[in-house]
Amino acid sequence: MNMHLMRGAALLLLAGTLAGCSGDDAPVAADAPRLPDAVQLTTNDDVFEANPIYSPDGQWILFEAEVDGNRDLWRMPAAGGDAERLTSDPAFDSSPYWAPDGGAIVFESDRDGRKHIWILDLTTPGAAPTALTSGDGDDGSPAWSPDGTRIVYESNRERRLGTDLWASPVAGGEAERLTKSDDGVYHRSADWSPDGTEIVFEANLDAGSVALHILHLESGEMHRITPLPGYEGHPSWSPDGARIAFEAMVNGTMEIGVVAATGGKVRMVTDTGGYWPRWSPDGRTIVYGSFGANEPNLWWIPVE
């Protein structure tokens, strides 16, 4: 499949010198002026592309794509070129995330009959994915810890209705339950702080709202950081630890917003639609998905 990254866009990305925002000047109002225009990276109107994420060295963009009815994982050079297929299985492979050293990826898949977490070694050509989790529950949305030792994910194991956050050692061993909520409450889409001491996630803890919350791993304390009503989800922590990008429903359209990691007002950085934001390793841009004529394509936008 020829999925080309626009070289002009890549050059603009590499040449960008935008400064990051501080907790003082960020997030103003949802109707504030947007940042400079987004740049479209792929133009495949007949291919569903989602959940893009930069490699730790910034050389690759990993994502999921549905081709001929089959959802698999792909990567493409951030500098431009053809996409390479990483998985090819009748199962539904999605929500990929890089290992901190870039040598492996973790993802969710139902290839064993239930949705579980799998790891693919990229350093061994032809290697088959190995299962990190198993059992009767469904697990999803994995994220690799900054020190490379654990993977956090959402799971409905030991639940009647809802999901909690769990973490499993990459080397194998017993999973640790990080949150425990009431039936009907979903803790989802977790991402680690760069220092590995906190986790940001989405949760419907307040009636009529899905908001971003931060879990302090040592104390177990949680607090909400976003003030908007409605839906705010799929958070991504910036490399400097100061900001969190996320998707939010604004006037009936999903858009990308940024909030200080300490909480506060939200600044929307898109106004033409956006899902699944992820920061570049240098913190200057956000890659995300946005619907084109038919299916979502990949885009990036500079962040002030």
User: Could you read off the pLDDT tens digit of each residue along the chain, which spans 304 residues?
Assistant: 544 333 333 323 323 322 233 333 222 233 344 556 788 888 777 788 999 999 999 999 999 999 888 899 999 998 778 899 999 999 999 999 999 999 999 999 999 999 999 999 999 999 999 999 999 999 999 999 999 999 999 999 988 799 999 999 999 999 999 999 898 999 999 999 999 999 999 999 887 789 999 999 999 999 999 988 899 999 999 999 999 999 999 989 999 999 999 998 899 999 889 999 999 999 999 999 987 656 678 999 999 6
In a domain? residue 111: yes
Taking the C-alpha atoms of residue 257 and residue 300, their distance in angstroms, rounded to an integer, is 13
Rounded to 10 degrees, the C-alpha dihedral 148/129/70/138 comes to: -70
Cβ(297)–Cβ(290) below 8 Å? yes
* Owning domain of residue 12: 7-17+25-302
In a domain? residue 198: yes
Phi, psi of 257, rounded to the nearest 5 degrees? -125, 165
Total number of domains in the chain:
1
In a domain? residue 205: yes
For residue 38, the model assigns a pLDDT of 82
In a domain? residue 1: no
Question: In whole angstroms, how far apart are CA 68 and each of 21, 43, 128?
Answer: 41, 17, 22
In the block, tokens 């007002």 appear at 265
In the block, tokens 């999605």 appear at 94
In a domain? residue 216: yes
Taking the C-alpha atoms of residue 234 and residue 252, their distance in angstroms, rounded to an integer, is 17
For residue 159, the model assigns a pLDDT of 84
In a domain? residue 2: no
In a domain? residue 266: yes
CATH code of 216's domain: 2.120.10.30
For residue 108, the model assigns a pLDDT of 98
Q: What is the DSSP letter of 22?
A: P
Characterize 162-171 residue by residue with b for buried, 16 or more Cβ atoms within 10 angstroms of its Cβ, and e for exposed.
Answer: bbbbbbbebe
3-class secondary structure, 8: helix
| Contacts with 47 (C-beta within 8 Å, 6 or more apart), sequence order | 1, 3, 65, 66, 67, 295
The neighbour count for residue 98, using CB atoms within 10 Å, is 22
Taking the C-alpha atoms of residue 224 and residue 284, their distance in angstroms, rounded to an integer, is 25
Phi, psi of 11, rounded to the nearest 5 degrees? -65, -40
In a domain? residue 48: yes
* pTM value surpassing 0.75: yes
